[in-house]
Amino acid sequence: MKAKPDTKKSDVKETIKKSDKKNVKKPYRKVINDKSIGVIVFRYENEQIKFLLIKHSAGHWAFPKGHPDKGESKIQTAKRELLEETGIKDVTLISDKILLDDKYMFTGSKKELISKIVYYFIAVTKNDVVKIDEDEIIDFKWCTLEESMNYLFHKETIILINKAYKIIYEYNHEKIS
């Protein structure tokens, strides 16, 4: 036979009522939803796919992305952000549809919780010349999928580049067929 606890439900309720509510911290934080549009750019070099990675001023490596301007389409946003951050203008989207998205959360500068989604197009370029926007971007690299693992830190970005590689691989085989 189990021993019954000495505390009754009514005793617990009374203790909670008497607690000093001024010292109880709220678990709630303000959540801000944020949306950006980006483009995963690749080119071919010696029959290998090379991805363009950019190092943001915050220190992490990722892909060009940004917020849409008023009245701008998603494609226009992706191409404008690519041009602003890398100087690359000549790209061909492999689809006019968003092919990938990246969802993550982080704490903003005012301790608010930011729920972010970035929608990505995938584009090919023949251009290997990159002119970074030094206000936002501090470096860039053209990398194979394997090489990119030396730079990418966030799990979501690693998953994203692997998915992009698979889509590009399928896209190339559909073109050949």
pLDDT in tens, 130-150: 999 898 899 999 999 999 999
What pLDDT score was predicted for residue 14? 52
Residue 26 included in any domain: no
**CA terminus-to-terminus distance, the chain:** 73
Would you say 166 and 99 are in contact if contact means Cβ atoms under 8 Å apart?
no
79: Cβ–Cβ under 8 A, 6 or more apart, which residues?
39, 89, 91
Name the H helices within the chain.
9-18, 74-86, 145-148, 155-176
Least confident of 17-26, 27-36, 54-63, 162-171: 17-26
In whole angstroms, give the CA distance from residue 162 to residue 168: 10
The tally of domains found in the chain comes to 1
Residue 21 included in any domain: no
Can you give the residue range of the structural domain that contains 52? 31-176
Residue 112 included in any domain: yes
Residue 25 included in any domain: no
